[in-house]
Amino acid sequence: MSESTAIAPENRTVIGITFGNSNSSIAFTVDDKAEVIANEDGDRQIPTILSYVDGDEYYGQQAKAFLVRNPKNSVAYFRDFLGQEFKSIDPTHNHASAHPQDVDGVVSFTLKDKDDKKDEEGEVVEEVPASTLSVHEVATRYLRRLVGSASDYLGKKVTSAVITVPTNFNDKQKAALVAAANAAGIEVLQLISEPVAAVLAYDARPESELQDKIVVVADLGGTRSDVAVVASRGGMYTVLATAHDYEFHGVALDKILMDHFAKEFLKRNSSATDPRENARSLAKLRLEAEATKKALSIGANASFSVESLSDGIDFASTVNRLRYETIARSVLEGFNRLVESVVKKAGLDVLDIDEVVLSGGTSHTPRIAQNLSNIFPESTRILAPSTLATAINPSELQARGAALQASLIQEYDAADIDQSTHAAVTTVSHITNAIGVVSLNEAGEEVFVPIVHPETAVPARRTVHVAAPKEGGDVLVKVVEGNTHIKVTKPEPKVKEEVSKSAKVEDADDEDEEDSDFSDDEEQEEEEKREKLWKIGNTLAEAAIHGVKKGGKVEVTINVNADLSVIVTTREVGAKGGVRGQL
Ligand code: ATP
Ligand code: MG
């Protein structure tokens, strides 16, 4: 954080910002509740696009509409270029708007952002040349508009923000983002990682208990999908593993609908030009395909309608959700594999995952959440609109989390925020095995009762109460390490029923695309049963508490220090004294 932009805490007005390649959002906190702000167009998901027409600057949804008739003076999909050299960027998504250029290694765009000089009749008397703007300048201008909308909404000038960043943003990219925000007049209180912001938004709800848990955050956006496994331990978040994918995303789903409707158009108008071969037709096709895709997240059917799609011919059609899920199957399955791969990368099993948070616009897609609920056991909560009525809008999670964090830290001086938050954001050291006590179950067998869960960030302190035998007396507390293993029980072999091919769901009227055996999901063989069981590991300490009262309890406190040394304290609840041992 640069000194020049630091603002005294009492003078701050803070918001949370997510700045994506496709969309951005702004949010603020009121009465401990985060709310996403609608801009002057009424949008809460604000397209990350700037467009210049006759010297006027448009941003958001208005700029997106200009992609049809003003693509060259519109700039889209640029967030990921911040802090990168030209040679390392991927310009795939910039074909339908201003193309990135190499200006001495700096990613730049040429845009006609000023109007020509005109006389009173509107005739051009002097042409004003186009400007070459660096990605820093483009991001600055966009952020200025975004924050301007927040200031208008709040009725006072926003001074400071917490901004979310992908977990794979390097220091250069982060510095470039902070520099662009500063240039737009914003003090950056903190950059927080996108998945942690999403988890924060859920954890801040009054009804949520702060439990130790392992959460998978699947952030499925427009041009990238990012998945992270996050351990939440006593309010500390540790990112255990991440994966980033640039092939399975919202734009890939749009493309499937674009191809689908282009083919249908050509079938009906066999001599017409393919709308995919003309830039303007393609832009119209793209905008409408995205709208149709979004409608399919809510309804079972959606319409698609474009005036003058190609060669002046209007086109209108419909698609149902089943058909869409069928033709999009390969992309949808890509999301499954991505999520599974990250769980594996974290060295975990699906049974270890307590929650899956679906974040990002593409996470509205009902089939994605359904597929994930088939992959994870019933004990895993899938937090998505189609699987949980109380789920938070996936498109709003990150902005809300950022706004909550902003309101938490706004009272601190810039220097203190810097120090206090670095540890929380980066990966801190954590224990690998669980620590707990040995207890007897109803059958009289020794079982492991976890107290400090694996992946807990240290230092950590946890306390549990262990019931003494009914009649009281001496209680032996054995503190041990624990680790999990997965117990697999194979189902009883049974005669497999023949499923006739004709019983499968098929769309009658289409023959051109991969016909699918989609209903396979429902006819899977009965699955083997998999459970996570604790195994008792090394003994760390044993303590005997003598003469515990009838019906009494023993309190066991485990402190794991930053250097991973452990202190165990045991005492009878309500009694003085106790046993303390350092390991
Ligand atoms: P990225 O940085 O990956 O390009 P982002 O983080 O800026 O994306 P998001 O708003 O999270 O953007 O995701 C945008 C994607 O989500 C777009 O492809 C959009 O079409 C899609 N999307 C938005 N709403 C829905 C919906 N209701 N149903 C399906 N897809 C949706
Ligand atoms: Mg995103």
> Would you place residue 418 in the very low, low, confident or very high pLDDT band (cuts 50, 70, 90)?
low
pLDDT digits (tens, 9 = 90+) for 122-135: 899 999 999 999 99
* 107 lies in the same domain as 167: yes
251 CA: nearest ligand 1 atom: 18
Q: Residue 38 has what pLDDT?
A: 98
* Residue 292's CATH number: 3.90.640.10
* 463 domain-assigned: yes
pLDDT digits (tens, 9 = 90+) for 168-209: 999 999 999 999 999 999 999 999 999 999 999 999 888 887
* 409 lies in the same domain as 557: no
> Would you place residue 515 in the very low, low, confident or very high pLDDT band (cuts 50, 70, 90)?
very low
CA of 360 to the centre of ligand 2 (A): 6
Q: Residue 218 has what pLDDT?
A: 98
User: What type of residue sits at position 467?
Assistant: A
Q: Give the strands of the sheet with 106-111, arranged side by side.
A: 101-103, 106-111, 131-134
Domain that holds residue 493: 434-497+527-582
Of residues 294, 361, 282, the one with CA closest to residue 95: 282
ipTM exceeds 0.95: yes
Q: Which residue has its alpha carbon closest to ligand 1 atom 23? A: 361
Instruction: Tell me the C-alpha distance between 94 and 81, whole Å.
Output: 11
* 20 lies in the same domain as 81: yes
For residue 152, what are its two tokens? 């208008």
CA of 218 to the centre of ligand 1 (A): 13
The percentage of the chain sitting over the pLDDT mark of 70, rounded to a whole number, equals 89
23 CA: nearest ligand 1 atom: 7
Q: Is 4 or 408 the better-scoring residue by pLDDT?
A: 408
Q: Give the strands of the sheet with 74-76, arranged side by side.
A: 56-59, 49-53, 74-76
* 122 domain-assigned: yes
* 322 lies in the same domain as 466: no
* 477 lies in the same domain as 359: no
* 300 lies in the same domain as 383: no
Q: Mean pLDDT, to the nearest integer, of 295-312?
A: 97
Give the relative orientation of helices 250-268 and 279-298 as an angle to the nearest 10 degrees.
Answer: 110
The torsion of the CA quartet 421, 436, 382, 21, rounded to 10 degrees, works out to: 20
Which helix (H) or strand (E) covers residue 408, if one does?
helix 397-409
* 35 domain-assigned: yes
In the listed set 311, 329, 347, which residue is the last one of a domain according to the structure? 329
Q: Mean pLDDT, to the nearest integer, of 223-235?
A: 92
**DSSP percent split of the chain into helix, strand, coil, nearest 5:** 30, 35, 35
* 161 lies in the same domain as 264: no
> Would you place residue 12 in the very low, low, confident or very high pLDDT band (cuts 50, 70, 90)?
very high
282, 67 in Cβ contact below 8 A?
A: no
Q: Does the beta carbon of 293 lie inside 6 Å of ligand 1?
A: yes
Q: Mean pLDDT, to the nearest integer, of 16-34?
A: 96
* 186 lies in the same domain as 283: no
346 φ, ψ to 5°? -80, 0
Q: Residue 377 has what pLDDT?
A: 96
Answer whether residue 45 shows pLDDT above 60.
Answer: yes
Of residues 420, 486, 479, 472, the one with CA closest to residue 449: 479
Min mean pLDDT across 285-299, 322-336, 415-429, 552-566 is at 415-429
* 199 domain-assigned: no
pLDDT digits (tens, 9 = 90+) for 447-458: 888 888 887 777
* 521 domain-assigned: no
In the listed set 329, 355, 379, which residue is the last one of a domain according to the structure? 329
For residue 491, what are its two tokens? 């189902």
Q: Residue 469 has what pLDDT?
A: 75
Q: Residue 509 has what pLDDT?
A: 47
* Residue 442's CATH number: 2.60.34.10
Answer whether residue 39 shows pLDDT above 90.
Answer: yes
Q: Mean pLDDT, to the nearest integer, of 350-375?
A: 98
In the listed set 329, 349, 368, which residue is the last one of a domain according to the structure? 329
Beta bridge partners of 74: 51
Q: Residue 494 has what pLDDT?
A: 61
* Residue 373's CATH number: 3.30.420.40
Indicate which ligand has the atom closest to the C-alpha of 36: 1
Instruction: Tell me the C-alpha distance between 109 and 76, whole Å.
Output: 10
SS (HEC) of 100-140 = CEEECCEEEEEECCCCCEECCCCCEEECCCCEEEEHHHHHH
Q: Does the beta carbon of 166 lie inside 6 Å of ligand 1?
A: no
* 263 lies in the same domain as 293: yes
* 382 domain-assigned: yes
Instruction: Tell me the C-alpha distance between 174 and 79, whole Å.
Output: 11
Q: Does the beta carbon of 365 lie inside 6 Å of ligand 1?
A: yes
How many domains does one find in the chain? 4
Q: Does the beta carbon of 47 lie inside 6 Å of ligand 1?
A: no
* 142 lies in the same domain as 269: no
Q: What angle do CA 261, 262, 264 make, to 5 degrees?
A: 60
* 413 domain-assigned: yes
Q: Mean pLDDT, to the nearest integer, of 137-165?
A: 98
CA of 186 to the centre of ligand 1 (A): 25
* 241 lies in the same domain as 258: no
Answer whether residue 262 shows pLDDT above 60.
Answer: yes
Of residues 15, 181, 194, 220, the one with CA closest to residue 83: 181
* 45 lies in the same domain as 179: yes
Q: Mean pLDDT, to the nearest integer, of 84-111?
A: 97
* 201 domain-assigned: no
Indicate which ligand has the atom closest to the C-alpha of 194: 2
Mutate to test the pocket of ligand 1, among 21, 22, 386 (most ligand atoms within 8 A of CB): 22
Maximum separation of any 2 CA atoms in the chain, in Å: 102
Mutate to test the pocket of ligand 1, among 97, 294, 365 (most ligand atoms within 8 A of CB): 294
Say what the pTM is: 0.81
Q: Residue 203 has what pLDDT?
A: 92
CA of 329 to the centre of ligand 2 (A): 22
Of residues 307, 293, 221, 286, the one with CA closest to residue 67: 286
